[in-house]
Structure 1
Amino acid sequence: MNNWHGRTDGTTPDALRWHQVVQIARETLPVLELGRKGIAFLGFACDEGVRRNKGRTGAAAGPDALRKMCAGFPVHFDEHLLVDAGDVICPRGDLEAAQEELSGRVAGIMAAGYLPVIFGGGHEIAYGHERGIRRFMPPEQQLGIINFDAHFDLREPGEEGASSGTGFWQMAQDRRSAGMPFHYLALGIQQHSNTRRLFDTAEKLGAEYLPASLFQPKYHDQLVDAIQAFIGRNDRIYLTVCLDVFAASYAPGVSATAYNGLVPDALFLDCFRTVLRSGKLAGVDIAELNPSLDIDNRTAKLAASLVFETVMNYFTWERH
């Protein structure tokens, strides 16, 4: 609860802020009544994968920083539930155990009828989150993965094992072992941030990507059409955002900054909302928020705005 506090303008419904309505789940999630939707926030307080990937650590503190930035948001939804389900931590650098716990927690959140929204943490969050979604989903359903990221994160694990850069390669191997297709769309890929081997790996695995250079107003329709086409080929969508996809002026608090990354403008929001409004969301996470490297909370505020968009679109958007 120490992170859920802030300005109070009153206690009537039209004056409420998130810190006044978020419920803390001590043991189990509150039961959702008929007609009510619920979102469960879960922190992944881990950056062991970033350390193994030789990045700048500090993202383990990301979940609490993100909670604090979200606390003051106004409540623009009625009856639906926001619940904080606590944190998954990574003691003694045991990343694999942390990812397994995250997987189980995500499956439990979905079983209770909530949308999991996970606060990271390094991008090793992706492997545990995706596994949890698949544990809950019927095996005959196809889960599509959409990743806003400057990097493919398709590296093969090295001597230290899995890292923040191996998650989607691990997903692909799991799918192959299970005889399932690997449907992966990466948005915002930077050529200077990925080796030729990674581009070759993406091609071999059948991964799709749209480079950062396409995120210009003149390509708006092409971008949205490509995202919609990918969504249409899948039953559910797992959406993950690595904050290093954004330009460093907007997201300085990440392990690997991008001087020419995406701008969080109307074009980006149209692409982001295309996913949020698909009616197919299975889970969302925000990765790589490193408060120790942030400037004026810019990255935390950007991450919080993405959480706000997720909550508002999930609770209030009606498909026609």
Structure 2
Amino acid sequence: MNHLHLNPNPNLWKGRSSQEKEYWHQAIQLVDDLAIEEGKEKKIGILGYAGEEGVRRNQGRTGTSSGPEAIRKVMGPMAFHLSDKTLILDYGDILTLEDDMESSHALISETVFQLLQNSHLPVLLGGGHDLALAHGRGIQHYLSSKKEKLGIINLDAHFDLRTLVDGKGHSGSPFYQLSLEYPSNFHYLCLGIQKAANPKSLFDRAETLGESWIDQDEFSLTNWDSVKESLLNFMDSVNKIYLSIDLDGFSSAFAPGVSAPSPMGFSPELAFRVFELIAKSKKLISMDVVELNPQFDQDRATARLAARCVEFVLRNYLA
């Protein structure tokens, strides 16, 4: 067993008893030792990232390492509306030991690659948003021989295009690092950008990279037609989509349990409209939900929101 990996904990998947498969805890299959299920049939692969070193390096509030556990706890008793034949596999968590975030990233990238090679839709549960670097590397490795354009759609209050600190990446730098490592296949759309959370230099960097964004003032239900048009145009320009959901993009009224809460974020209703378009596009290749910090959550509201995001995307993806 890899020392950076924890096998899935069956005690996290609990819920009501039922003779039929009616709840998520009844549908989940636990897989030990990262033994990736082979075969060409479509599968869902859940992988946790119990890491917060990237948040610490970015001077954020630590506590995100407990995020994957909190999401699983609230998903277990949720009603299950996917097909009974859907294979949903929990592969446990990848850890960061001491401050060695880079080693955990390497294992995440290799695991994402293996999941994609074996017909999974990877669903990664964070953990800090530095996860996106490892996640993106795994997807790019998989697509490298297929000559397909990857589009990254990030719902977030922040660009996460910051430079490295003392030569090291962090939770604010993953997409900048991906842009440097894959300059010919980096296509990025960020939804929900807040001016108060991003200095002008980051707007300049996004413009220099030729990337797209919709700021918080325009990312609203009242402006949905314009948002939808921009989203569809972006999706039409790529072959595959990696969806990243940073919970701090939501208003703190819905997501108080994050490292960087904001009262000015977007609503679940708006985000779920975006998720529906992406999930039904048939281009979704992988997704993650990041920055849950249970230490600051209230009545598990943020954990429940994270779980609902995953469930909604999968329900529409498999419809």
**TM-score, normalising length from structure 1?**
0.93
Q: Which residue of 2 is the match for residue 253 of structure 1?
A: 257
* SS of equivalent residue, structure 1 residue 213: coil
1:254 Cα offset (Å): 0.5
1:259 Cα offset (Å): 1.0
Does 2:235 align with 1:231? yes
Residue type matched to 1:3 in 2?
L
* SS of equivalent residue, structure 1 residue 214: coil
Q: Which residue of 2 is the match for residue 127 of structure 1?
A: 133
* SS of equivalent residue, structure 2 residue 217: helix
Contact 2:30 2:91 in 1 (8 A): yes
Q: Distance in 1 between matches of 2:268 and 2:117?
A: 33
Q: Which residue of 2 is the match for residue 173 of structure 1?
A: 180
Q: Which residue of 2 is the match for residue 44 of structure 1?
A: 49
Q: Which residue of 2 is the match for residue 20 of structure 1?
A: 26
Q: 1:160 to 1:50 in 2, by over 3 A?
A: farther
Greater mean alpha carbon deviation, residues 218-227 or residues 54-63: 218-227
Does 2:72 align with 1:63? no
The unaligned stretches of length 5 or more in structure 1 are none
Greater mean alpha carbon deviation, residues 115-124 or residues 270-279: 270-279
* SS of equivalent residue, structure 1 residue 91: coil
Q: Which residue of 1 is the match for residue 152 of structure 2?
A: 145
1:92 Cα offset (Å): 1.6
Q: Let me know the Cα RMSD of the aligned residues.
A: 1.3
Q: Distance in 1 between matches of 2:291 and 2:154?
A: 13
* SS of equivalent residue, structure 1 residue 67: helix
Identity fraction in percent = 39
1:133 Cα offset (Å): 0.7
The one of 267, 274, 285 equivalent to 1:282 is 285
Residue type matched to 2:311 in 1?
F
Q: Which residue of 1 is the match for residue 19 of structure 2?
A: 11
Q: Distance in 1 between matches of 2:118 and 2:285?
A: 13
1:160 Cα offset (Å): 5.7
1:88-167 matched pairs, under 5 angstroms: 88-137=94-143, 138-159=145-166, 161-167=168-174
Greater mean alpha carbon deviation, residues 110-119 or residues 133-142: 133-142
Q: Distance in 1 between matches of 2:55 and 2:221?
A: 33
Q: 1:45 to 1:277 in 2, by over 3 A?
A: same
Contact 1:52 1:160 in 2 (8 A): no
1:127 Cα offset (Å): 0.4
Does 2:209 align with 1:209? no
Q: Distance in 1 between matches of 2:296 and 2:44?
A: 29
Residue type matched to 2:296 in 1?
L
Deviation string, structure 1 residues 280-318 (Cα, Å, up to 9, x no partner): 1111000000000101111001101001112211222xx
1:31 Cα offset (Å): 4.0
Does 2:308 align with 1:305? yes
Q: How many residues are aligned here?
A: 307
1:32 Cα offset (Å): 4.5
State the 4+ residue runs in structure 1 displaced beyond 6 angstroms.
none
Q: Distance in 1 between matches of 2:317 and 2:274?
A: 15
Q: 1:160 to 1:254 in 2, by over 3 A?
A: farther
**TM-score, normalising length from structure 2?**
0.93
